[in-house]
Amino acid sequence: MFTKNIYQKSPIPIQNGLLSCRALIRKILREGKDQFILLNDIQKNEFDASVMRSFVDTQLTHTLVQATKHVPFYKRTMVSTTYNLADFPIISKVEIREHADNFLSDNHRGVIVSGATSGTTGTPLVIRQDMTSVIREQAFVARHLNWAGFKAGDKRAWIRGDMIVPPDQKEGPFWRYSWFEKIIMLSSFHMSPKNLKKYIDAMVNYGVDIIQAYPSSIVTLAKYLEVNDQYYPGNLKSIVTSSESLSSEDRQLLEKRFKCKVFDWYGLFERVAAIGNCEHGRYHIISDYSHVELIDVGNGRHEIVGTNFNNDLQPLIRYRTGDYVYLSDEKQCPCGRVFPIIDRIEGRIGDYLIGEDGQRVHILNHIPKGVEGLLATQFLQSVWNHIEVEAVVDPLIFDDKQQQILINNTKARLGKSMEISVKIVEKIQKTKNGKTRQAICTIEESL
Residues 318 and 360 in one domain: no
**3-class DSSP state for residue 257?**
helix
Domain presence at residue 33: yes
Domain presence at residue 408: yes
On the CB side of 326, how many CA atoms lie within 13 Å of its CA? 8
Looking at the chain, the whole-number percentage of residues with pLDDT higher than 90 is 54
Domain presence at residue 447: no
Number of domains observed in the structure of the chain: 2
Domain presence at residue 446: no
Residue 409 structural domain:
353-441
Q: Identify the pLDDT of residue 434.
A: 46
Looking at residue 73, its amino acid is F
In the 8-state DSSP scheme, what is residue 159?
Answer: E
Q: At 374, which CATH number? A: 3.30.300.30
Question: Which residue positions in the chain have pLDDT lower than 70?
Answer: 1-3, 79-81, 118-124, 347-350, 363, 365, 430-436, 445-447
In sequence order, the β-bridge partners of residue 240 are 212, 263
Report the alpha-carbon distance of residue 415 to residue 392 in Å, rounded: 24
Give the tens place of pLDDT for each residue, 325-374.
999 999 899 999 999 999 988 755 557 889 888 887 876 767 888 888 88
Report the alpha-carbon distance of residue 277 to residue 400 in Å, rounded: 47
Q: Identify the pLDDT of residue 2.
A: 59
Instruction: Identify the sign of the CA torsion 198, 199, 205, 206.
Output: positive
Residues 279 and 298 in one domain: yes
Q: Identify the pLDDT of residue 373.
A: 82
Q: Identify the pLDDT of residue 36.
A: 92
Instruction: Among 296, 311, 346, identify where a domain stops.
Output: 346
